[in-house]
Amino acid sequence: MNFKIKICGMRDAENIRQVLAYQPDLLGFIFYPKSSRYVDQDRLEKINAIDFGSTEKVGVFVNEDPQTIISVANRYQFNYIQLHGDETDETIQFLQKQGLQVIKVISMATSADLEMIQHYPSADYLLFDTKGQKRGGNGYKFDWGLLENISIDKPIFLSGGLGVDDLKIVQENNRLKLSGLDFNSQLEEKPALKDIAKVKQLMNQINQEA
């Protein structure tokens, strides 16, 4: 089973170069000031000078002004926008008209949270993450069984406390019908700094299964 691999919460230019050597499909950058992985302007300029090769960039926003999102995406050549707040489907459509692909996050704690799916029919992807005190990056899993019986016609990413040891479990659980996996805190030495040994282990396992 082939998954798109997204590694989120990147910030340090040299760490990004090290991660890119293992060619994940997507790298995520968080533009939410309250996040411990927030990317500021100075760091963005350094990141913009990096050759990402085939790896695509995802800008992660929380209830941000759509025009600001477009400005950041255009200036720093983002391929995807991930919306982690209370955005509307109209906002998704607006961003798509600018040529951006949109990943909408559904924060999960109980089966009742699945009702949020119907509010985002236009999203290109849905990403299911753990509902917690923070907007993402909480570092623990929700009950994946909640996703087993959903029926939607768009690709799904799984997030929330995923680590290298979870890869085999997910690969064997075909009922989830996942398109991608989103890794963040469990690959880190500290917030926004990825442990390259763990990244290497993850990507080697993915490539062995391909």
State the pLDDT at residue 136: 56
pLDDT digits (tens, 9 = 90+) for 161-179: 999 999 988 888 767 889 9
Domains located in the chain, CATH noted:
4-209 (3.20.20.70)
pLDDT at 1 > cutoff 70: no
3-state DSSP of the chain: CCCEEEECCCCCHHHHHHHHCCCCCEEEEECCCCCCCECCHHHHHHHHCCCCCCCEEEEEECCCCHHHHHHHHHHHCCCEEEECCCCCHHHHHHHHHCCCEEEEEEEECCHHHHHHHHHCCCCCEEEEEECCCCCCCCCCCCCHHHHCCCCCCCCEEECCCCCCCHHHHHHHCHHHCCCEEEECHHHEEECCEECHHHHHHHHHHHHHHC
pLDDT at 154 > cutoff 60: yes
pLDDT digits (tens, 9 = 90+) for 15-43: 999 999 999 999 999 999 999 999 998 99
